[in-house]
Amino acid sequence: MLKNILAITGKPGLYKLVSRGNNMLIVESLLDGKRMPTYARDKIVALSDVSMFTNADDVALSEVLTNAGKKENLKPVALDVKKASNAELQAWFDQVLPDWDRDRVYPSDIRKLIQWYNILISAGITDFTVKDEEEEAK
């Protein structure tokens, strides 16, 4: 499911890929459902391509979101990311990904992760696995 969920630099929230056009993508906001085109000049990243730093290997965002879903019982995170201290954010993330790299993962990254998780849960997306196109066709 995360292959079709996109983050666009400079635009709030997450977007679902609706269609591909000539030199553009048509995306739908998970926040308000509005559709809009995005062009090659926009930096677009699929959530399936994002990973988090750990002390060993990088961990795919899908695994981190799955861990967060288990911790929060697939409900939005109660922690207010705008008011939470760095220590509170790090304590929450310790429970989600105990082996995270404290030198390369910043509090702003944890805030973004929580915001993305809350958006996905609010949109009814609870399957955080990354499936190949062949598997999705089945």
In 3D space, the residue among 56, 58, 67 whose CA is nearest the CA of residue 113 turns out to be 67
Burial zone of 107 (CB within 10 Å; 0-12 exposed, 13-18 middle, 19+ buried): middle
What is the layout of strands, in order, in the sheet containing 44-46? 35-39, 24-29, 15-21, 5-8, 44-46
Domain boundaries, the chain: 2-47, 50-122
Contact 62, 56 (CB under 8 A): no
**AA letter at 21:** G
E-strand ranges in the chain read 5-8, 15-21, 24-29, 35-39, 44-46, 51-52, 59-60
Report the alpha-carbon distance of residue 12 to residue 36 in Å, rounded.
Answer: 13
Q: In the CATH hierarchy, which top-level class contains the domain 50-122?
A: mainly alpha
Report the alpha-carbon distance of residue 120 to residue 116 in Å, rounded.
Answer: 6
Give tens-digit pLDDT for 81-135: 999 999 999 999 999 999 999 999 999 999 999 999 999 999 999 888 876 544 5
In the prediction, which pLDDT does 89 show?
Answer: 96
Give tens-digit pLDDT for 2-37: 889 999 998 999 999 999 988 899 999 999 999 999
Report the alpha-carbon distance of residue 5 to residue 15 in Å, rounded.
Answer: 6
Q: What is the CATH number of domain 2-47?
A: 2.30.30.730
Contact 24, 37 (CB under 8 A): yes
